[in-house]
Amino acid sequence: MAVVGSGVIDTMMAGRLSALDLAAVGIGTAIYITVFMTAMGVLMALTPTVAQHFGAGRYAEIGEDVRQSAWLAMLLAAVGILLLRHPEPFLALAQLTPAMEVKVRAYLDAISWGMAPAMAFRIFYGFMSGIGRPRAIMAFNLTGLAAKVPLNALYMYQFEMGATGCAASTATISWLTTILAWSWYARQADCTQFGVLSRLTLPRPAAMLALARLGLPIGLTLLVDVTAFTFMALFIARLGPTMSAAHQITANLTILIFMIPLSIGHAALVLAGHALGAGDPVTARRTGLMGLALGVGVSSLVSLGLWLGAARIAAIYTPDAAVRAAAAGLIAIIAAYHLADAIQTVVVNVLRGYKKTVVPMAVYVVSLWGVGLGGGYLLGLTDLLGPARGAAGFWIAATASLLLAGAVVLAYFLSVSQKAPAPAITTP
């Protein structure tokens, strides 16, 4: 939530500049998140890999996997920077006005400077999560969040960068948190057993390929997930700045509350990985089911709060009456969306603990792109299924797509966990 909290701050501060600036932040963020989350997804292979090594006591193997992931991260960062600085395919979908396109391009150029450190921090994140020590990750992300408002104010107002200032501050914070995180780790005596910084090793194609085979389906899964969001934002941009700004508020809020089931699912991933590494599939299955119950229970309360407080929440984001009214209607819809999202989020993360990533990817392609984005286009921008519902049509279809995905991946998890064999344990 600390990470996404910076996006909330960007949305609120840009919303007080103009609807154009708010929409530019929304569209620029959608494109950046598409690139970043896909690359990050590939690196998420590190967490279950480390978790199973840790559960089996194979500490010596952890350090080498982290180093090979670092090489993979730098390759992904280079590709990401190239895409952010040449965003023509994304902009072609949005059909932006010239003024909007100038702002979005400036935003993407500024945030591209933070791509490399962001990837390096994800290696720290995956490693520390895998060994069951997430508090340091939280501390550094909170440090970045604390710096967000003053840095935004500096870039947006003092340097008169407007919406681009949000991106510049994000890039600055990426460098800050990454340097702090790895500097802190280098001083931790109890982490020397993993040997992460004990030596520099050259890229090993076989090791990188093994990580990529596990991580690429995760990255593609996130690509499907995020592009469903991104293309939704780009299509809704055709409806004008007011509706685009309202969608940005709703999307920003959705991502913020998504962190709750995501964190529960990630915890279940790590603990299930530890249990599988230790040769205890019964505990791994029970961990997954408990994570699902907790995620759905908490998200039910969040959904109720969204339904009851939609208008008040929209008013927090912007003083613009038209944007506020449009956003309130969308927030009421995401009360149902969030509950469906919680189910599939927890289950998909637990499956990653089992190193099962290909089937969820296929499910996402069909449900999120087919039912969600395709259905959203039909409901929102055409009259084939009745009068065009605008942005609401996209969110209704997205909710249906998550219900479908959740049902299928839950059935898959129950099958996989029921017959999961105990892996062989290697004595370190």
Q: What is the DSSP string of 287-355?
A: HHHHHHHHHHHHHHHHHHHHHHHHHHHHHHH---HHHHHHHHHHHHHHHHHHHHHHHHHHHHHHHHHTT
The 3-state DSSP class for residue 95 equals: coil
User: Is the per-residue pLDDT at 228 higher than 90?
Assistant: no
Please tell me the predicted confidence (pLDDT) of residue 27.
85
Mean pLDDT of 252-270: 90
Cβ atoms of 266 and 391 within 8 Å: the answer is no
Tell me how far the alpha carbon of residue 31 is from its chain's centroid: 13
pLDDT recorded at residue 403: 93
Q: Is the pLDDT of residue 422 over 70?
A: no
Model confidence pLDDT, tens digit, residues 94-146: 678 888 899 999 999 999 999 999 999 999 999 999 998 999 999 999 999 99
Rounded-to-integer distance, Cα 276 and Cα 84, Å? 39
In the chain, % of residues over pLDDT 70: 98
Amino acid at position 83, single letter? L
pLDDT for 425 equals 41
Question: Does residue 52 come out as left (phi exceeding 0), alpha (psi in the -120 to 50 range) or beta?
Answer: alpha
Mean pLDDT of 11-35: 84
Q: Which of 35, 259, 248, 25 has its CA nearest to residue 152?
A: 25
Question: What residues contact 359, with CB distance under 8 A and at least 6 apart?
Answer: 351, 409, 412
pLDDT of residue 421: 55
Q: To the nearest 10°, the Cα dihedral for 238, 241, 247, 249?
A: 160
pLDDT of residue 126: 93
- Whole-angstrom Cα distance, residue 167 to residue 105? 11
Candidate from 267-276, 346-355, 414-423 with smallest mean pLDDT: 414-423
d(CA 175, CA 166): 15
Q: Give all strands (DSSP E) within 130-227, no chain letters.
A: none
The average confidence (pLDDT) of the chain is 89
Q: Which two tokens stand for residue 390?
A: 């605008």
Report residue 328 as tokens: 């309130």
